[in-house]
Structure 1
Amino acid sequence: MENYILKDENAVYYDCGYSCDNEIFLKVGDETYFFTDARYSQDAKENIKEAYVVETRSLLKSVREVLRKKRVKKLVYDPKDFTVAQFEELKKSGVYLIPKPMFSWKKRAIKSDEEIELIKKSAQINKKAFDKFASFLDREGRNRSEKFLQFNSKIILSDFGERDLSFEPIFAINENAAKPHAHPTPKVLKNGDLILFDAGVKYKRYCSDRTRTSLISDGLTFEYKQSFNNSNIQKAYDLVLKAHDEAIKRARSGMRAREIDKIARDVIEKGGFGEFFVHSTGHGVGLDIHEMPFISSKSETIIEDNMVFTIEPGIYIPGEFGIRIEDMVVMRGGRAEII
């Protein structure tokens, strides 16, 4: 049985149902330990599943004591979890440390039915928040800055602080939307502008992720069907939507992730915008907003049922406009279903 150590909050939560910002989780044989300080120990004892809670002022020192007591010889760790100083401290235990990058992501890549239901709930809440934000933009968005509108999107998405967000929302107008991860500017929204909105919320810690590109006009919506005044924008938008639809329609369990990326990329390349599709087609979503599988041109991951990931092709013309359409899908019965 593999011994391992975790420090990432979501990785720890997945294993024991609780995490905080100062913790270490250790699995040794059949036993599991949760190390934390006095600020969190009581909360941990009330919420944790099947782990010894060890209250300590020095997490790594206490971990070393357990490793020595249990005579652990080998221990798996994720190099992303620990600083060099923490790694050197851990080495003092004398245990042989085995690096396994992303090993928690790998075991979380195939979601349980319960996890899928939580993700679906998160996506449903997110969609309703998108609709509320569209109504807000239609009523009050004109002559307001990206900064103001992005800030208000957070209020609406979080329901005035009731929910956590999956990430900092992206709200971008016209040429700023050509930056896939645009930061809001003082630019003011006008009728006829293109907007790109990318946002997500959490439900019981599980993330959602969605992007829509729309035209600012009376009766603004985030529906797929959009009609732009600029023919080049319309052509690009229609290509992105086609790439999105084709990738979802043709994705199959048993494919390599890069094959799904190629389906979307081929549509955009054949339409003449290949050089402007500058990121991967998608990424896994769960406790982390970006996790396995990664739907990229280099990914050899075999897609399996119960994997959840995004499909989000895009076209970005520097200095002019950007378009992205994103939905989350779950693989069920060998095919992709939009969540």
Structure 2
Amino acid sequence: MNYILNKENEIYYECGWSSDNALFLKLGDYKYIITDGRYTLEAKEEANAEVVEARDLIKKARELILKHKIKRIVLDPLNWDYDSYNQIAKIVNIKDEKYFSHKKRMIKSENELEIIKTAVKEGAKAFENFTDSIETGIDEFELSYRFKEHLTKRGRRDLSFEPIVAINENAAKPHAKVSNKTLNKDDLLLLDAGIKYKRYCSDRTRTIAINDKISMSKYQKFKDSKIQKIYDIVLKAQLEAIKNIKIGMEICELDKIARDIISSEGYGKYFVHSLGHGVGLDIHEWPYVNSKNKIKIQEGMVFTIEPGIYIPNEFGVRIEDMVMITHDGKIKVLSEEL
């Protein structure tokens, strides 16, 4: 198969190297990395592909396609701007294949699974270590700063995404931005974050009670009875979804299990997102765990289970863990295997 890629993680998956200005070409048995002079030396040291230096990457890609007399090439139309797409289309027939790389990367190799396990383990440790840095009287900005120090080990590793740190009513926004809201005793604090290990992501969410025994356990005790009730509903939805994961089932069934539990308690309209998503080189990738996805669960998949209930202007609760389906058919909740 002949194909061309232009996204960093997609390129890295193919040849073990990428940059913010590169193209990857697979033309028959030949692999090419096209990049500019800033990255040539590094690419030659790390990439499992022939490195071609060029200022105009599209022009050079066209030359290589013509040189190999390629008649048809696959690309993901969602990743290309109009002009670049048309420049390629002028010289070769294009087969549009949306999510081309995501589909290829959906089933992880044994090596990828081991890397992801390490990413999750290190991310979970950062959550635990952050516990001692949580104190009342400081705002979300300070909490976020301290959290990121633990997650990145003071800059020694990368974040999967900008962490979500939200207190009480700010947690009712699923992707809340940090604010100057101050943490007080008996508050609710939602934390959603992950780290990268060898470029692979982790992702975890905990909603915790600010009391005398702050912990990252999924079994929390809140002073406010309404928060406790909703927390227990979300936890039940997550645990039931995880318990019912089976190889061969349509992944949309998991969303239904969790959503039905939340809806049966009268909070269905407050569960405003899908149940989960795949995780790998990208923080959001296939398979998506939603109500419409009929892809069947297979060995080698990694995805999150993260139900939530968000009460506007009051609070939000989300609990998230990453689940791995091993190649020998075992279901593992990764961040619980510390």
Query: Quick one: which of 44, 49, 52 aligns to 2:50?
Result: 52
Question: Does 1:136 pair with 2:136?
Answer: no
Deviations 1:72-92 (CA, angstroms, capped at 9, x unpaired): 110100112211121122223
In the other structure, the counterpart of 2:331 is 336
Question: Does 1:30 pair with 2:24?
Answer: no
Q: CA deviation at 1:236?
A: 0.6
Q: Secondary structure at the match of 1:254?
A: coil
Question: Does 1:232 pair with 2:226?
Answer: yes
Partners of 2:107 and 2:65 in 1: how far apart? 31
Give the number of aligned pairs.
333
Question: Does 1:280 pair with 2:287?
Answer: no
Q: CA deviation at 1:253?
A: 1.1
Partners of 1:91 and 1:37 in 2: how far apart? 23
Q: CA deviation at 1:160?
A: 0.5
In the other structure, the counterpart of 1:186 is 180
Runs of 4+ that moved beyond 4 A: none
Q: Which runs of 5+ in 2 are unaligned?
A: none
In the other structure, the counterpart of 2:75 is 77
In the other structure, the counterpart of 1:89 is 87
Question: Does 1:260 pair with 2:254?
Answer: yes
In the other structure, the counterpart of 1:122 is 119
Partners of 1:3 and 1:263 in 2: how far apart? 41
Partners of 2:266 and 2:202 in 1: how far apart? 31
Q: Secondary structure at the match of 1:294?
A: strand
1:203 partner amino acid = Y
Q: Which runs of 5+ in 1 are unaligned?
A: none
Query: Quick one: which of 281, 292, 297 aligns to 2:286?
Result: 292
Partners of 2:321 and 2:311 in 1: how far apart? 22
Deviations 1:7-47 (CA, angstroms, capped at 9, x unpaired): 01001000000000000000001111100000001000000
1:201 partner amino acid = I
After TM superposition, the structure 1 stretch with the greater mean CA deviation from structure 2, 76-85 or 22-31, is 76-85
Q: CA deviation at 1:282?
A: 0.4
Query: Quick one: which of 107, 113, 120 aligns to 2:104?
Result: 107
Deviations 1:268-325 (CA, angstroms, capped at 9, x unpaired): 1112211111100000000000000000011111110110000000000001010000
2:24 partner amino acid = F
Q: Secondary structure at the match of 2:98?
A: coil
Partners of 2:229 and 2:301 in 1: how far apart? 32
2:15 partner amino acid = C
Deviations 1:63-116 (CA, angstroms, capped at 9, x unpaired): 111111111110100112211121122223x10011101111101101111100
1:336 partner amino acid = I
Q: CA deviation at 1:336?
A: 2.6
Deviations 1:194-232 (CA, angstroms, capped at 9, x unpaired): 010000000000100000001111221110111111111
RMSD over equivalenced CA pairs, Å: 0.9
Partners of 1:110 and 1:123 in 2: how far apart? 18
In the other structure, the counterpart of 1:9 is 8
1:52 partner amino acid = E
**1:170-185 to 2 correspondence within 5 Å?**
170-185=164-179
Q: Secondary structure at the match of 1:305?
A: coil
Partners of 1:254 and 1:334 in 2: how far apart? 11
After TM superposition, the structure 1 stretch with the greater mean CA deviation from structure 2, 260-269 or 116-125, is 260-269
What is the TM-score normalised by the length of structure 1?
0.97
After TM superposition, the structure 1 stretch with the greater mean CA deviation from structure 2, 221-230 or 205-214, is 221-230
Query: Quick one: which of 234, 237, 243 aligns to 1:249?
Result: 243
What is the TM-score normalised by the length of structure 2?
0.97
Partners of 1:136 and 1:89 in 2: how far apart? 53
Partners of 1:45 and 1:215 in 2: how far apart? 51
Q: CA deviation at 1:133?
A: 1.1
Contact persistence 1:248–1:337 (CA under 8 A): no
Q: CA deviation at 1:334?
A: 4.2
